Amino acid sequence: MVIKLITVGKLKEKYFREAAEEYEKRLGAYCKLEVCELEPARLSDDPSDGDISRALEKESADILRKIPAGSFVVPLCVEGGQLTSEGFAKLIGREAAGGRSTFVFIIGGSYGLSDKVKTRGDLRLGMSEMTFPHRLARIMLTEQLYRAFTLMSNGKYHK
């Protein structure tokens, strides 16, 4: 199974990079993980709505080019539905059993994702009703992916 994370922006802080590396290492026992970090569109300190819209469109074109055909695509967005950890594991297991071998999870930048990216998704996923920085969302997602794989393999990580 291939899990591809497409993220707008990079993990700059050492503590985020170390956390990501730990979960990426753990996931190596269960899947092939590919991380694609895209450069965010440049914006001024006080962008207009039009500037933000153009930036999201540019980022969406970059994102959509990176999605392999036949993938199960999951954009993370605030309006997405939420799942329990068990429900997330069941979703991955069900899709894999149905023949999906590549899952793509998309994390936008500080202004989110364009409607084009959200529409391309097979499932819009929200992490919480709270707001988190996209860098932390990446850590939370990789942890939940690891938890899902341990649940599917009856591991002891999930208590």
The predicted pLDDT at position 158 comes to 78
Domain boundaries, the chain: 2-41+48-152
The predicted pLDDT at position 131 comes to 86
35 φ/ψ angles, rounded to the nearest 5 degrees: -115, 125
**Strand-pair partners of 6:** 36, 106
The predicted pLDDT at position 95 comes to 97
Under DSSP, the state recorded for 98 is T
Could you tell me which of 79, 104, 106 has the C-alpha nearest to residue 92? 104
10-residue mean pLDDT series, the chain (159 residues) = 97 96 97 97 94 96 97 96 97 96 96 96 94 92 97 88
* Fold of the domain built from segment(s) 2-41+48-152: Alpha/beta knot (3.40.1280)
Residue the block writes with tokens 């500080």: 110
The predicted pLDDT at position 132 comes to 87
Is 125 strand, coil or helix?
A: strand
